[in-house]
Chain A
Amino acid sequence: MDLVSHHSGDVNVITVNEPRIDASAAIRFKDAMRGLTASGPSRVILDLAQVRFIDSSGLGAIVASMKQLPTGHRLELAALTPDVDKVFRLTRMDTIFAIHASTEMALRRAAG
């Protein structure tokens, strides 16, 4: 699971360099996210621009990644592609996460 984290000011931007977060990748995704978010800035943005497809296991892994963050940290999502956006909208998970059109736009928006 190729996830890359870089700290931009007080934001931890995690880019998913994979086309899919699915049943065969869900556990590795969750474990990789734990490693990248255990410390560092409290605002975490997950950039999903390269993720073309997600299934319910992948969705569950993103929720689990949010729940395993240190207290007071939060997970936001950026750059959902059409099929990923569809899964978030149908399950109403778009009401749980702050979702940004792109990481650039998320960074322009002040934390808060």
Chain B
Amino acid sequence: MSKPEGGRRILDVTLRAQSDAVREVLGLARPVLAQGGLSEESCGRAEIVLAEALNNIVEHAYCDTATGDIRLLLDLSEAHLTMTLIDSGRGLTGADLPEGCCPCLGETRQSTPEGGFGWFLIRSLSEGIDFCRRDGRNRLTLRLARETGDDADQTRG
């Protein structure tokens, strides 16, 4: 599997498409990201994006059947973290990816939304998103800036 230009691969792992396995892999990825030199703030952004992307594959590509695998690649360059997720689940096209608008918060307690935030979080925290279907596999690539202005915010806070 080719690496993004100038990047070094810091993780290549395959997990079962199941929510407990997602939790386990996130627990594995976080210290790898920190050792790669990412700040706490960047590790947090990466973990949120990764959790949402993996959960989407578990729930939608494999329809919660836990019958398939997901391969996760993490590549780090000077400016970016690139996360690549490959699955053999239900086929999507790039046009199928939700726009990820922030759900309207509703005017009453009962109308407050309980879902629909996953793609909003992915799109809010990613700098670039690429999707392709090839050889019966979905391949989602998420690029995050290594650092953002939020780092300074967090230091101040």
Interface residues of A (CB under 8 A from B): 20, 22-24, 53, 55-57, 59-61, 63-64, 66-67, 82-83, 86-87, 90-93, 95-96
Contact = CB atoms under 8 A, between A and B. Distances in A.
A82 B44 contact: yes
Given A23-B59, A60-B113, A87-B121, 17 more contacts: A23-B23, A23-B51, A24-B19, A24-B20, A53-B48, A56-B52, A60-B114, A60-B115, A67-B109, A67-B112, A82-B41, A82-B44, A82-B154, A87-B48, A90-B125, A93-B105, A95-B105
Contacts of B47: 53, 83
Contacts of A57: 55, 115
A55 B41 contact: no
Contacts of A82: 40-41, 44, 154, 157
A22 B23 contact: yes
B112 A86 contact: no
The 6 closest A-B pairs by CB, nearest first: A24-B19, A60-B114, A83-B44, A56-B117, A55-B51, A23-B19
Interface in B18-77: 19-20, 22-23, 26, 40-41, 44-45, 47-48, 51-52, 55, 58-59
B102 interface: yes
B117 A59 contact: yes
Contacts of B40: 82
B131 interface: no
Interface in B116-156: 117-118, 120-121, 124-125, 150, 154
A92 B59 CA distance: 24
B114 A64 contact: yes
B29 to A, nearest CB: 12
Given A60-B114, A60-B115, A82-B40, A66 B109 contact: yes
A60 B117 contact: yes
Contacts of A56: 52, 55, 115, 117-118, 121
| Most chain A C-beta atoms within 10 Å of own C-beta, residue among B45, B115, B150 | B115
25 contacts: A23-B22, A23-B23, A23-B51, A53-B48, A53-B51, A55-B48, A55-B118, A56-B117, A56-B118, A57-B55, A57-B115, A60-B117, A63-B112, A63-B113, A82-B44, A82-B154, A83-B44, A86-B44, A90-B124, A90-B125, A91-B102, A91-B103, A92-B105, A96-B105, A96-B112
